Chains A and B, each alone.
Chain A
Amino acid sequence: MLITPLIEEKAELTDGGLAPEPIVLSTRIRLARNLANEAFPGWADTPQRESVMERCFEKLTPLNALQDGVFLQISDLTDLEKQVLVERRLVSRELIESKDGAGVLIAPSQGLAIMINEEDHLRIQGLHSGFNFLRTWDEVDALDSKIEDCLDYAFSDDYGYLTACPTNVGTGLRASAMLHLPGLVMRGHMEKVVRMVNQLGLAVRGSLGEGSEATGSIFQISNQQTLGESEQQILKRLINILHAIIQQENNARGVMLEKQPEVIFDKIGRAFGILQQGHLISSQEAINLLSLLRLGVDIGMLPEEKRAKIDRMTMEVQPGHVQCTENADIEPEERDKLRSSRLREQFATFPELDFNNIQWIPNPQTDTEHGTNE
């Protein structure tokens, strides 16, 4: 398969990047860019799209940041390969559903990727595990400047970088963090948090059942506005709000552990049991169970180094990944069997949960970016 090197490689979100931390799973920044004097991808006809893609491939593949990377045309991929790329967050659904002349360039670490002819000609994305906006911005900014050396961007003095959708115009910047918020979910505080974040002009995404439940208690928070502020201002505002949410999550965990430790112990203990002994686990269920085990690592029930393992499993229990490791299209029930047997294998090597050594030091790593670096 064309994408095999991507799955086998240790990558940014699967055990190969920065050490994963509690609460902030990952940081992502993307820039929307377009070529001057070319119709946007949605309005362009096939020959126009193909000529833009050819030009981009020609100019971008020699860039240092993409050395030894993977360059793919979407039309060359099978449905399963496309699904895996989406699950790895390397491309969007829109890209894989698009007409001819769409592609993606992926750096070896998978921390940088450029989608070609998605909604805009270029979508440059930087991705890191943990809370790393400034580092991610520096990398994306540098790559963007290199691209600008060899391609003419559509830019206006008034409106900045011109994008197909006016919601992205200006900086073309969307910054987002994936947060793991089991404490706030268990305490029933998510609705309040969502309201607060919305009021501050940010978006919270996910399948929010009643505004309080998302698979694995994972929420994505991102800026919505792109024009009228500098990139630094946008990031600073987002970082400040994320710090407030992290603090709330820490408080929620602290309160739970102080008042009803058995509730948390019971949930984590049961999750561990199912992962070790289950035989038919859906991807949704697996993600929810792994989320609880991640919390278990955070509070000292499992060794720190298991966090990266759990993150990798969270990626690999997704339907596309399960099929990809078997290299075949597999029916859902058969997938559940395969998924569970792989989980049983992985968890057989885990130590017993330690219920007597709960360490809860709130917020140890996530303050590093607190406005001091910039």
Chain B
Amino acid sequence: MAKPEQCSNCNKPATIHLTQIIDNKIHKVDLCEDCPYKQSVTDPEGFSLADFLIKDPSSIGGESSVKCEVCGFTPADFKKTGRFGCPHCYESFKATLEPMLSNMHKGTVHRGKVPEKALARLSKKRRLDQFEEDLREAIESENFEEAARIRDLLAEAKDSIKKA
């Protein structure tokens, strides 16, 4: 019965042994009973080995001073937590993310459900923002005919959002 492994997280004797094969490479994790990483069978979220893999410092950009311009998250924060700071981080860290995703998943492009309604709302909102910017420009450049035209479009667009 006795297995000599130590917990991958602390140094206590490991009693839980997990194996997983990702891309034909075998990864093993040994954990002790009390380790915070231990999660029982009944835990809805269970345990994900990938959490360990991505904490490997070599897997995301080294010393770089890149920061997510939206939330201020850095690669060092990612190393520490294995989580991103905000949705925009996926853009900010795109270069280091892609190889990680292709290691973890079947592919690197989404092939599943799309939130149609949320996207439609978003594109309408983007259109409004664009109209408002165009309108401001037209007024600034004293192109009042153009400004009147845009104002009509803007009113129409706002109206259609209200109705939706």
Contact = CB atoms under 8 A, between A and B. Distances in A.
Interface string A28-42: 101000101111101
A152 B125 CA distance: 11
A148 B116 CA distance: 9
A199 B18 contact: no
Interface stretch (A228-236, A259-267, A297-305, A344-352): A228-236
B110 to A, nearest CB: 3
Contact of A178 (B41, B77, B97): B41
B46 A208 contact: no
Nearest to A33: B115
A264 to B, nearest CB: 23
Interface string A4-44: 00000000000000000000000010100010111110110
Give the secondary structure class of B's interface.
Answer: loop
A225 B106 contact: yes
B142 interface: no
Contact of A210 (B3, B81, B104, B119): B3
Given A86-B43, A159-B110, A165-B51, A34 B87 contact: yes
A171 B112 contact: yes
A220 B3 CA distance: 23
A92 B45 contact: yes
A221 B113 CA distance: 23
A374 interface: no
Interface string A155-189: 11111111011110111010010100000000000
Interface in A131-149: 141, 144-145, 148-149
Contacts of A94: 45
Identify the interface centre among A34, A144, A166: most chain B CB within 10 Å of its CB. A166
Given A93-B43, A148-B118, A170 B87 contact: no
A169 B20 contact: no
Interface stretch (A61-69, A211-219, A270-278, A323-331): A211-219
B84 A230 contact: no
A71 interface: no
Interface residues of B, number: 59
Contact of B117 (A36, A149, A170, A211): A149
Contact of B115 (A153, A166, A169, A228): A153
A195 interface: yes
A194 interface: yes
Contacts of A192: none
Given A152-B121, A167-B51, A231-B112, A92 B85 contact: no
A203 interface: yes
Nearest to A204: B18
B40 interface: yes
A125 B41 contact: no
Interface in B94-112: 97, 100-101, 104-112
Nearest to A216: B41
A125 to B, nearest CB: 7
Interface residues of A, number: 77
Given A86-B43, A170-B105, A224-B50, A40 B110 contact: no
B117 A156 contact: no
Contacts of A207: 15-16, 38, 40-41
B87 A214 contact: no
A36 B118 CA distance: 10
Given A43-B73, A199-B21, A211-B17, A228 B109 contact: yes
A110 interface: no
Given A152-B122, A228-B107, A208 B48 contact: no
A89 B84 contact: no
B90 interface: yes
B58 interface: no
Nearest to B73: A43
B107 A43 contact: no
A209 interface: yes
A91 interface: yes
A119 interface: yes
A226 interface: yes
Contact of A167 (B1, B43, B54, B97): B54
A151 B114 CA distance: 14
A250 interface: no
14 contacts: A125-B44, A156-B91, A159-B109, A161-B110, A162-B87, A162-B90, A165-B84, A167-B50, A167-B104, A198-B19, A203-B20, A205-B46, A224-B22, A230-B113
